[in-house]
Structure formats: structure tokens, C-alpha cells
Amino acid sequence: MHKFGGSSVADAARIEAAARLAAPAHDQCSVVVVSAMRGVTDALVELVEAARSGAPWHDGAQRLRTRHADAARASGAACRDKLLAALDAQAQALGADLEALAQARGAVATRLAERIWGHGELCSAWLMHAALGGEAGGWAWLDAREVLVVQAGEIGVHIDREASLQRLAAWRARHPQRNVVATGFIARTADGHATTLGRNGSDHSAALLADLFDASTVTIWTDVDGVLSADPRLVPDAVRLDALTYAEACELAYFGAKVLHPRTIAPLQVRGIPLMIRSSLDPAAPGTRIDSRGEPARSPVKGLSIVDDMAVLELVGSGMVGVPGVAEVLFAALHGAGVSVTMISQGSSEHSICCVVRGSEAARGRAAIETAFAGAIAAGQVEGVRMQTGLCVLAAVGDGMRGNRGVAARLFEGLAQARVNIRAIAQGASERNLSVAIAQDDAERALRAAHATFWLSPQTVSVGLIGPGNVGRALLAQLDDVMPGLRARAGVDLRLRAIAGSRRIHLAGTALAPASAATLLGDDADPCDLDAFAAHVRASDLPHAMIIDCSASDAVAARYADWLAAGIHIVTPNKHAGSGEWSRYARIAEARVTGHSRFLYEATVGAGLPVIATLRNLIDTGDTLHSIDGMLSGTLAWLFNSFDGSRPFSALVREARALGYTEPDPRDDLSGLDVARKLVILAREAGRTLSLADVEVENLVPEALRDLSLDAFLGSLEALDAPMQARLDAAHAQGRGLRHVARLDAAGRATVGVSALPSDHACMHTRLTDNLVQFTTARYADNPLVVQGPGAGPQVTAAGVFGDVLAIAHALGARAGWRHA
């Protein structure tokens, strides 16, 4: 059994493509069920309205006639004349019915309308029949009204199976062709009148006919790849589901997964007939299989869907507590008013009972309940009926939810993270569907957040990078190298979605390739707007967000508190936040708590060396810091390691800058400010309230060069040569060497400057850019704990930043693992 929807039979070319898909293998036979061509049923509904109201309908009917005839003429069907004649007869019958409808009233008019609505299916069935080769090709043409007998029941149309089977047997005797093309959507009543299975009822027709024809399988051909985990227009990461159980498919269909009509499943489930949903645009793709087995999925939740435009009705009152029959009266009132109930929720206190109904039916429902409880309201036993409109219902569906602890917790946490408030909750004892009513305005954000919660790795992070300079670019290259492996090995899924320079930003819908991301900041990129940048990084469809600030900007650091409070993690080698104004530092600490976010900055001291982590471990395990001594500048270490008098100091400064060791402005290094910042960061890490102004700093930059522009300063570097050479000569004269050292002593005095040290001093045994940090503590009192190694350079600094990024990603994974255990 193949069923083709309106888009799959929209024109001659699509009909021919569909015919190729439906052609059976030699040992099989096919039944093909078709919908009307796209838009035709809507046009017929309008024609019916026009004829009923006395408005002109002839032009509209003619347009339909032309559309079908054009499709016939464009087709390559061998029996084209016969096809045109059949369509013409159909068009004449439509005209006659509309003519009659214009005069008819009451039941006669209703029957005519039901007949007219089915005209589109009759025409597309003729077109498909011809495309498949017609009777000569072994295909019979079936107007489903000949065999499919249905009755309107309490909860919708249902089939009279016995009568239908008898009629099919009789029809079969007259139509012995192996294969059949049948109309969807239309059927007959027990008394022989035309009727329909309701809008979009062709899926249901296919299921009913599959049962009657004893089909081995049903394929619904549509224009999507199968059933997806969520609406792909709202959730870019939605994935195709390989398999669903009948029950899962029912839940998803009822909850708005538009790919399948809700009534399709039951007839197939009873007979155990598997249903395939496949794309006629990509027939080689596997689609989704729906049967009794389903398949265990990666996630306990198979699908998420949203039903828009809903309202909550809530009956409240202490007089209801323990009184039998309240619910019966309430639902009877809604039934009487023709209001369908989508979701029901009642707390065990029985103080209130609430249900979710369509927004368009809410006022009617409220009036009906108020009337039903008028006496109780007047007597004060019931307070009244509250109505909240502007809601939608988000449903999480999956057999795997059953008996699986923590599914609701994950959903609720995902929604909470996306700042979505839940108004009502319902879950039946089947545990297959967990529904929440939320504000309509939150729908998209909620769906994306819930999807991310169940389908993406908990270590999926939306990443924005600021400052693609020396360190930023090195980090991008490292990310490019390592990310694919990390994703496969450890589930760490870092998605670079935004990049910002000092003048431009680029915001991307999907993940950028890190290696080329910096090239997107050309003159045609958008002007830098860090608010837009942060809002974009904090995407609702990804579970976590992180900004990596590789700038040296104080203005960027000034944003951290807001970003952290908004739940964005921050990683940075930028020292401004850690060493800046105390009040800002304190605000950042608070924001981390309110935003449940992390702020890591290991690379601010010692680049890739574990300096801050070491100090933090000492403090966290109860040690007490006495003092910190050492060399905290990679640039100054390299300069004094290299400065032996053979080359001028200025040439070495230029080389250090070219090697990416210096700050963007080398005066930050030479002035001692950069080292003072590091000392402040370490002191604060150890719980001291040190500020930059408290540090005694020796400035190596001559006064005259301090206020120059960067370029002018770089052009005047030679002014450093004579004073530095004089200091070196003096040190050598004492048998000493020069090193730039920093010290925080037990009394809290902080000093930074150049010292002439004896050759056996530890600092004299460093190489290149080595930093050397000695922590003297209560536990390491006699022999300090030493961290030593390269302390500057883009590669090692980027690695330090990357380490922090991974620490956060792993913590997110561990948290999820712990939660699901």
C-alpha cells in the first residue's frame, strides 16, 4: 500500500515520479492511495461556500478543470485521451453538483458538499491511474466510496469493516486487475451517501484500505525524510527517527507531528501492518518505520512536539475536596459545549482541577463550566473558573520514558535553563507522554531547549570567541585540530557560532569552521556589538553557552558579570577582570552564583602552566599561603635570559613582540603592570583583597615614552638601551645577573621589579620564557612548591585557555552523568 499526499501529486512530473515509486515488483501487487493535488481541497471548500452563499463559483470550477486537464496533457500517459475524457466527466459532475448545491438546503446540501469535497481525489486518482499504465497496465481505478463504509461515532468516523469487506469482494469480482489506484479521503455512509474522513484524512484512508486489502506494508510518501524528533523549522538539530512503536507514533501525531494523521495508526496496529514514512523527494532515504517493535533510541524521549494556541481552564474551590462527581460534571459540560480537552491535571488536594483546551474554544468552555457549576459558585463552594490564554502544550513522547528515572527532571531542568515557566503538567501512567503547558511566547525557546536536553551531548556548548589575535588564532587552530576527535571520543561538542574583533563581529546560525573563522571579520562583517554577540551565543537550541575572551580589553571584561549572570560561562587569558577594580571582581563572583556559570582564567598567570589550579588546590584543601615569589612574566624572563649585552635591549623587545610573548602594548610588560596584575590575581585567589594600587611596581619604561602612542613608542624603543645596559653592567660587576621578579610576602606586601641575583638563585636557572612560581605555605614551609615552565607565547597560552574550556565541558558532562545515574 502506497499513499501519496497532495505535494507528491502536485503536478504531472510529481505524479510520474510517484508512479515510479509505486510500481510493484513482479511477485507483488500494489494499492496506491492518493490525495487531491496540493491546494485542490481548499479550492473545493471555497467553491462549496460560494455555491451555498449564492456567490459566483464557475470561474473557480473552471480553474480546477484546467489544472487537472493541464496535468493530463503534460503527462506521458499512453491512455491520455481516455484520461482527458475521465477528467472531463469528473469536471461536469462537479459543475452539476455545484449547480444543485446552489439550490439545495438542509441534509441534501450537506450530502452534496461531502460529494464535492472529494472531487480532487477522484481526479488525482485518474491521473495516477493513467501514469501507472491504466487498465492495460494491470491497474484498476477505485472510487473508495464504492467499498469503504464508515459511520460517524461518538469520537469520530469509524469503519464498518464487515460491510466494507463485502463490498470490496464484490468490487474485486468486477475488477480483476492485479493492482489498484484508489482515492483517499472519501468514503460512503451505511445508507450509501458520499462522506469524507475529515481534512487530511487520506492517511487514514490508506490505513483502512490496507486492512481491507490485507496489505503487508503501508508506505506514506511525503515531502519530509520521515518522522523527525521535532519540527525542523523550529529545531535545526532535529533528527530523523529510524523507528517508532505504534503507540509512540500515535502520541506524536496527536501532539502535532503533522507528518501523520492521528487516526492512521489504530487500523494498522490491530492488524500488525508496518507503516513506513518516506520522502518522495529522496526515495533512497530510509524514512521512519512504525510497527509494534519500534527500537530502543539514544534518548528515552523519541519526539517532542508543540500544540499551539491553547488555554488553561481551572475550576477552583475548597468545596470540591473529596466530593465525587465534580470531574464528571466538568467534563460533561465541556462535552456539551463541543470543547475538546487536550490535557488534564489535578493535584491530590482536589482543591482545583485544570484542563487545557484549544484557545479558540476556551471562552465557550469556561461559560459551559460556569453554567454547570452555577449553583456551587453561588453557594461559595466553588470560587469560579479561571482562564489563561496565550499558552501552548509541549509534549515529550517515548516508550523509553517508562520506568526511566530522571526524564521529567531533565525536561524541567532544560526548560528552567531556558527560562521557561511551566503552568501545568500532565503525565499518564503509561509514562509515554509528558506534557507541559507553557506560554505561547516561550514555545520555540522551550522546544529547542528540551530538544537539546535529550538529543545533544550534555557537553554541547555554543561558543563565541572574542579577540582573534595571537592567542585567539592559535586557539582556533587548536580547536580545528582537536574538535572532531573530542566529539567522537568524549562527546564534547563545541560549536563556534560567533566571533568578534575590536571592530567587527560575525554571528553564524550553524557552527563555523574554527580554522577560517577569523577571515569572516572583513570590512563587510557587521559592526562589533557585544550585546548582540552575547545574545547570539546564548542560543536557545544549545544547552550551554561560553564566551572565550582572548582580547586584552578592559571594556570586554566589564561585561563579564552580566554574561555570567545570564548563564554564559567565560574562559579568558585577559587579566583585566581578575586584577581590576575590587567591586567589579566581587560582582563577577556573585554573578557566577546567580547564573550557575563558571569563570576560568588559568592562562592569565603562567600561560599554559597550572599556576592558578595549583594555588586553588592548596587553598581548597586547607593550606595557608605565606608568600609567593618568582618570575611571572614570560616576556621579561625571555628578555633577561637573552640580554647579555651582545644585542641591544630594544632589538630583543621587538623580537619578543614578534614572537607573540608581549602584551599587545609591550609597555604593559616593561612597566611591570602585567606582572602586578598576575600577582593581584594570585593574591585574590588565596583570599587576599589586594588591588593593583597596593603593588609596588618598578617601571622600566622611561618617563618620556609612557604617554606616546603605541607606534611612536615602538619607534622610540632605543631609549631603553642605555639604561638597561648600565644595569646589566652593574650586575655583572657584582657577579650577578638580572631577573624580573615578583613577591607577595606573608605581611601582604607586594613588589614587582628587576633584581640583580646571584648565580645560584633559582631564577637564574630558568630558560627562554620560563615562569617560576614558588608557593610557600603552611604545608610547604621549608621547601616551597614550585611551578616552572614556559610562561608566554600564543601556543602555550591557547593551550591553557583550551584546558579551561575542556574543564567546563567535562564538568557539564559529569553533572549530567551524575544526574542520570
Cell of 5: 499526499
Asked whether the beta carbons of 584 and 577 are under 8 A apart, the reply is yes
- Buried residues in 43-75 as b, exposed as e (16+ CB within 10 A): bbeebbebbbeeeebeebbeebbebbbebbeeb
Using CB under 6 A, which of 326, 456, 607, 805 touches ligand LTNE7NMQ? Answer: 607
**152, β-bridge pairs:** 157
- Binding positions for ligand LTNE7NMQ, 779-808, rule CB under 6 A: 791-792
Interface with ligand NAI, residue 436, by CB under 6 A: no
Asked whether the beta carbons of 132 and 139 are under 8 A apart, the reply is yes
Tell me which residues are annotated as active site.
Answer: 678
Cell of 130: 493513467
Edge to edge, what strands does the sheet with 149-153 contain? 156-159, 149-153, 186-189, 194-196
State the binding partner of 672 from ligand LTNE7NMQ, ligand NAI, none, CB within 5 to 8 A by kind: none
**Cα–Cα distance between 528 and 245 in angstroms, integer?**
50
- Among 427, 428, 452, 429, smallest CA distance to 437 is for 427
**Cα–Cα distance between 424 and 310 in angstroms, integer?**
12
Q: What is the DSSP string of 395-423?
A: EEE-GGGTT-TTHHHHHHHHHHHTT--EE
State the binding partner of 267 from ligand NAI, ligand LTNE7NMQ, none, CB within 5 to 8 A by kind: none
Q: How many residues of this chain interact with ligand NAI, rule: CB under 6 A?
A: 31
State the binding partner of 469 from ligand LTNE7NMQ, ligand NAI, none, CB within 5 to 8 A by kind: ligand NAI
Q: Which stretch binds ligand NAI (CB under 6 A): 48-56, 196-204, 466-474, 702-710?
A: 466-474
Which CB, 339 or 792, lies closer to ligand NAI? 792
State the binding partner of 633 from ligand NAI, ligand LTNE7NMQ, none, CB within 5 to 8 A by kind: ligand LTNE7NMQ
Interface with ligand NAI, residue 268, by CB under 6 A: no
Q: Which stretch binds ligand NAI (CB under 6 A): 344-352, 421-429, 572-580, 720-728?
A: 572-580
Q: Identify the helix (H) or strand (E) that includes residue 480.
A: helix 470-490
Which CB, 500 or 772, lies closer to ligand NAI? 500
Which CB, 584 or 727, lies closer to ligand NAI? 584
Q: Which stretch binds ligand NAI (CB under 6 A): 139-147, 297-305, 479-487, 792-800?
A: 792-800
Which CB, 195 or 574, lies closer to ligand NAI? 574
Cell of 495: 560549536
**Cα–Cα distance between 119 and 36 in angstroms, integer?**
8
Asked whether the beta carbons of 183 and 118 are under 8 A apart, the reply is yes
Interface with ligand NAI, residue 552, by CB under 6 A: yes
Interface with ligand LTNE7NMQ, residue 663, by CB under 6 A: yes
Asked whether the beta carbons of 410 and 416 are under 8 A apart, the reply is no
Which CB, 228 or 471, lies closer to ligand LTNE7NMQ? 471
**Cα–Cα distance between 523 and 504 in angstroms, integer?**
8
**Cα–Cα distance between 620 and 612 in angstroms, integer?**
12
**246, β-bridge pairs:** none
Q: Identify the helix (H) or strand (E) that includes residue 807.
A: helix 794-820
Interface with ligand NAI, residue 794, by CB under 6 A: yes
- Among 670, 672, 752, 675, smallest CA distance to 714 is for 670
- Binding positions for ligand NAI, 479-538, rule CB under 6 A: 500-502, 528
State the binding partner of 280 from ligand LTNE7NMQ, ligand NAI, none, CB within 5 to 8 A by kind: none
Which CB, 657 or 739, lies closer to ligand NAI? 657
x/- map, 363-392, ligand NAI, by CB under 6 A: ------------------------------
Using CB under 6 A, which of 156, 390, 664, 702 touches ligand NAI? Answer: 664
Interface with ligand NAI, residue 797, by CB under 6 A: yes
Q: What is the DSSP string of 182-248?
A: EESSEEEETTS-EEE--TTTHHHHHHHHHHHHT-S-EEEEESSSS-BSS-TTT-TT--B-SEEEHHH
Interface with ligand NAI, residue 577, by CB under 6 A: no
Interface with ligand LTNE7NMQ, residue 520, by CB under 6 A: no
Q: How many residues of this chain interact with ligand LTNE7NMQ, rule: CB under 6 A?
A: 11
Q: Identify the helix (H) or strand (E) that includes residue 331.
A: helix 326-336
Using CB under 6 A, which of 222, 245, 662, 671 touches ligand LTNE7NMQ? Answer: 662
State the binding partner of 40 from ligand LTNE7NMQ, ligand NAI, none, CB within 5 to 8 A by kind: none
- Residue 547 beta carbon to ligand NAI: minimum distance, rounded to whole angstroms: 11
Using CB under 6 A, which of 120, 137, 468, 672 touches ligand NAI? Answer: 468
Q: What is the DSSP string of 539-584?
A: -TTSSEEEEEE-S--HHHHTTHHHHHHTTEEEE----HHHHS-HHH
Cell of 36: 487531491
Using CB under 6 A, which of 573, 630, 672, 790 touches ligand NAI? Answer: 573
Interface with ligand LTNE7NMQ, residue 669, by CB under 6 A: yes
**Cα–Cα distance between 420 and 448 in angstroms, integer?**
11
x/- map, 625-644, ligand LTNE7NMQ, by CB under 6 A: --------xxx---------
- Residue 806 beta carbon to ligand NAI: minimum distance, rounded to whole angstroms: 18
- Which residues would be at the binding site for ligand LTNE7NMQ (CB under 6 A)? 607, 633-635, 661-663, 669, 674, 791-792
- Which residues would be at the binding site for ligand NAI (CB under 6 A)? 466-472, 500-502, 528, 550-553, 555-556, 573-575, 603, 607, 634, 660-661, 663-664, 792-794, 797
